[in-house]
Amino acid sequence: MDRTVIASTTAIGIVLVGGIFFWWRQPEPGSERLERDVRIVRGTGPGNMQAGQVPDQGPNGSAPSSPDSQRVELKPATISEDAELEASLPDPALEPRALYKRVRTEPRDEEWAARSERNIRAALAPIPYISPNSLRVSCGSTLCEVRGIMPKDLSMENMNVAMRALQGEKLRQPLAEAGLQQQMASFGGGGGTPGFTIYVTRR
């Protein structure tokens, strides 16, 4: 009788131990994906650990490609030459930025420059609605730069009058008589003050 009780007790104990072991070995729901998708990254401090997300991988374990990394297919240019259009375009050497740099780098022909500066000021004297005292006329050996401003409170109507005069025969004619040719005129200024710039070349 005592042996039977001991045997039964022993069998029950074995069953309980086996059940506990089986339960301990079962993964918790979602733990398999957690092990695949999350890695443990050790921090810099002792005992400091944190979970880091593992990025998704493409085929063969490579990083997925983004749309920006895809190559753009370029084809040869298909726009044909147009000699007539090209001939009608302004001379690059006479563009404002080119003239700005040129007048600051060419040597000064003192006799021609001084005479041209006087003639330019005289040609601008009859132009209405500009400030004579603000004129800055600078010449080199083949090119002159004129910078001036208009009154700050000038009306749009009067401003248009001045702009037309600075681009018209009223200025071109006296310049031509002095052996000069107006190449371009631009308008604009900072601080709300209307200004103008004119480039004149030696004929």
Contact 182, 172 (CB under 8 A): yes
In angstroms, rounded to a whole number, what is the distance separating the alpha carbons of residues 143 and 200? 6
Q: What pLDDT does 102 receive? A: 95
DSSP state string for 11-79: HHHHHHHHHHHHHHHSPPTTHHHHHHHEEEEE-SSTT-EEEEEPPP--GGGPPPPPGGGSPPP-----P
Q: What pLDDT does 65 receive? A: 58
Q: What pLDDT does 49 receive? A: 45
* pLDDT tier, 164 (very low <50, low <70, confident <90, very high otherwise): very high
Q: What pLDDT does 6 receive? A: 44
Give 90-145 pLDDT, tens digit per residue.
778 778 899 999 999 999 999 999 999 999 999 999 999 998 888 999 999 999 99
Question: Which one is predicted more confidently, 83 or 10?
Answer: 83
Give 4-57 pLDDT, tens digit per residue.
444 444 444 454 445 444 444 555 554 444 444 444 444 444 444 444 444 555
Share of the chain above pLDDT 70, in %: 64
Assign a CATH topology to domain 92-202.
Answer: Threonyl-tRNA Synthetase; Chain A, domain 2 (3.30.980)
In the chain, the amino acid numbered 155 is S
Which residues, 6+ apart, have CB-to-CB distance to 38 below 8 Å? 51, 52, 53, 54
Reading the block at residue 194, the tokens are: 């209307």
Within 10 A of 177 (CB to CB), how many other CB atoms are there? 10
Residue 156, pLDDT above cutoff 80 = yes
Q: What pLDDT does 113 receive? A: 97
In the Cβ-directed half-sphere of 65, how many Cα atoms lie within 13 Å?
Answer: 7
Q: What pLDDT does 190 receive? A: 62
Q: What pLDDT does 63 receive? A: 56
Give 165-199 pLDDT, tens digit per residue.
999 999 999 999 999 999 999 998 666 678 999 99
